[in-house]
């Protein structure tokens, strides 16, 4: 078989190719020869990557508009990046999730760690939501959707174009239905005995956060007969899991009225609405108000957005995590539990743990760290890409 006539791009003479040969998935713009021919490649083009001595390293997706100028697709330069290639990658990802989960509600593709760089796909039974966060995936989106239907049998495929990653790639923010029809309303999603309502087109990200599943489950084990506070609750992630675990009551705090409406609908479907309350407002202001009111909870969990989404935001983000820990610790009853989460890849586990422990101390509290949690196995970590291991969850007994 004659290899497809892909163009060639090349590493600069002083760029070390060893990391790429050992599995590093990204090549940055300052590592490549960017002559006129290379810059003329349209975003999303497939090319052969060579080292400075012209030895082939693999097939890459190219986007000269991105700081990550080349993403490794296949080490075989004779491969064809087409629907069949996509279907093989999707089938491999599907096989792992089928082994892990009884019901088809999970992250099906976690970008580089599943061999589809920049691509996130969440599955909601008969519906799949794709986030094509790299230019090559935008170009091949019809083929991805067709391969996805072929492999999984889903009847509906959405494109979700939200998030900063697409902006960094120079891509649009237009979401919509690629195949099938949008559901008439929010979709119920079962997890850990709870029911969550996901707004697949209008909600955050793909509508729900599957990554916290094991941390929800751990929190639920602490929640029996407990008074629970879930701050930055979104659609009720920790609160509803706690109620499924036998919590006495749960209060969900979030700044989004639509998210809290979905949380209340989930509680009603579970039959626990009489034990569930919501409070809309800025999380910091609500926690300060609760402290002033003398409120106490047996279990407090805070799952904020990424306060440190990049290295320039790291120090400010760590201060925000410390403040969260200080306020939240002040609401935990003696002998109670505190869960603190971060989805900031720039704040590694050690820095995040230091900020949290400092905040607990500033609240005049002390405690033992009893559990460290991460994302579930449907969010595999690429061993040479720290960004894929973004989620941390720390549980303390105060």
Whether 245 and 297 map to the same domain: the answer is yes
Q: Tokens 């990557």 belong to which residue?
A: 49
Whether 234 and 381 map to the same domain: the answer is yes
Whether 163 and 283 map to the same domain: the answer is no
Does residue 370 lie within any of the structural domains? yes
Does residue 253 lie within any of the structural domains? yes
CATH of the domain at 68: 2.30.130.10
Q: Model confidence over 189-239: pLDDT tens digits? A: 999 999 999 998 876 667 789 999 999 999 999 999 999 999 999 999 999
CATH of the domain at 280: 3.40.50.150
Whether 249 and 381 map to the same domain: the answer is yes
CATH of the domain at 156: 3.30.750.80
pLDDT band of 2, cuts 50, 70, 90 = low
Instruction: Find the domain containing 391 and state its range.
Output: 191-397
Q: Using the 8-state DSSP alphabet, how is residue 140 labeled?
A: T
Indicate which residue of 302, 341, 343, 356 is catalytic. Answer: 343
Does residue 337 lie within any of the structural domains? yes
Q: CB pairs under 8 A, 24+ apart, for 22-25? A: 22/384, 23/383, 23/384, 24/72, 24/384, 24/385, 25/71, 25/72, 25/112, 25/117, 25/382, 25/384, 25/385
Domain boundary among 144, 179, 214: 179
Q: How many residues does the chain have?
A: 398
Whether 67 and 130 map to the same domain: the answer is no
Does residue 1 lie within any of the structural domains? no
Q: Model confidence over 281-301: pLDDT tens digits? A: 999 999 999 999 999 999 999
Does residue 186 lie within any of the structural domains? no
Whether 101 and 241 map to the same domain: the answer is no
Q: Model confidence over 155-193: pLDDT tens digits? A: 999 999 987 889 989 999 999 999 999 888 899 999 999
Q: Using the 8-state DSSP alphabet, how is residue 321 labeled?
A: H
- 343 assigned to active site: yes
- State residue 159 phi and psi, 5-degree precision: -105, 125
Whether 207 and 342 map to the same domain: the answer is yes
Does residue 321 lie within any of the structural domains? yes
pLDDT band of 4, cuts 50, 70, 90 = low
Domain boundary among 179, 208, 234: 179
Q: What is the pLDDT of residue 288?
A: 98
Please report how many Cα atoms fall inside a 13 Å half-sphere around the Cα of residue 335, on the Cβ side. Answer: 2
Provide the β-strand partners of residue 105.
Answer: 124
Q: Model confidence over 341-396: pLDDT tens digits? A: 999 988 999 999 999 999 999 999 999 999 999 999 999 999 998 887 899 999 99
Q: Can you tell me whether residue 324 is helix, strand or coil?
A: helix
Whether 147 and 195 map to the same domain: the answer is no
Does residue 2 lie within any of the structural domains? no
Whether 246 and 386 map to the same domain: the answer is yes
Whether 36 and 137 map to the same domain: the answer is no
Does residue 185 lie within any of the structural domains? no
Q: Model confidence over 101-114: pLDDT tens digits? A: 999 999 999 999 99
Number of structural domains (the chain) is 3
Whether 332 and 212 map to the same domain: the answer is yes
Q: How far does CA 381 lie from the centroid of its chain?
A: 11
Domain boundary among 74, 95, 117: 74
Whether 136 and 200 map to the same domain: the answer is no
């Amino acid at each position: 078989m004659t290899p497809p006539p892909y163009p060639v791009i090349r590493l600069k003479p002083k760029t070390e190719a060893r990391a790429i040969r050992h599995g590093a998935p990204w090549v940055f713009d300052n590592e490549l020869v960017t002559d006129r021919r290379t810059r003329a490649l349209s975003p999303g083009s497939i090319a052969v990557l060579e080292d400075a001595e012209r030895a082939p390293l693999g097939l890459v997706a190219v986007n000269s508009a991105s700081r990550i100028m080349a993403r490794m697709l296949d080490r075989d330069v004779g491969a064809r990046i087409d629907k069949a290639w996509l279907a093989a990658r999707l089938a491999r990802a599907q096989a792992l999730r089928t082994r892990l989960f009884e019901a088809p509600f999970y992250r099906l593709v976690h970008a580089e760690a599943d061999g589809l760089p920049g691509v996130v796909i969440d599955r909601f039974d008969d519906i799949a939501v794709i986030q094509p966060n790299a230019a090559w995936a935008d170009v091949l989106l019809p083929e991805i959707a067709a391969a996805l239907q072929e492999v999984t049998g889903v009847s509906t495929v959405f494109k979700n174009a939200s998030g900063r990653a697409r902006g960094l790639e120079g891509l649009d923010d237009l979401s919509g239905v690629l195949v099938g029809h949008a559901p008439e309303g929010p979709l119920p999603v079962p997890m850990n005995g709870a029911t969550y309502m996901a707004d697949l087109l209008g909600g955050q990200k793909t509508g729900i956060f599957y990554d916290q599943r094991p941390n929800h489950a751990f929190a639920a084990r602490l929640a029996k007969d407990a008074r629970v506070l879930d701050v930055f609750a979104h659609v009720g992630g920790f609160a509803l899991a706690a109620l499924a675990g036998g919590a006495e009551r749960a209060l969900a705090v979030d700044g989004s009225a639509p998210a809290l409406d979905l949380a209340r609908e989930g509680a009603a479907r579970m039959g626990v609405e009489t034990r569930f309350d919501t409070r809309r407002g800025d999380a910091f202001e609500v926690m300060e108000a609760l402290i002033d009111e003398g409120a106490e909870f047996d279990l407090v969990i805070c799952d904020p957005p990424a306060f440190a989404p990049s290295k320039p935001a790291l120090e400010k983000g760590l201060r925000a995590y410390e403040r969260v820990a200080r306020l939240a610790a002040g609401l935990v009853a003696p002998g109670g539990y505190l869960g603190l989460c971060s989805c900031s890849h720039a704040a590694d586990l050690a820095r995040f743990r230091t900020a949290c422990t400092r905040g607990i101390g500033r609240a005049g509290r002390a405690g033992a760290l009893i559990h460290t949690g991460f994302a579930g196995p449907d969010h595999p970590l690429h061993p040479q890409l720290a960004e894929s291991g973004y989620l941390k969850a720390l549980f303390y007994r105060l």
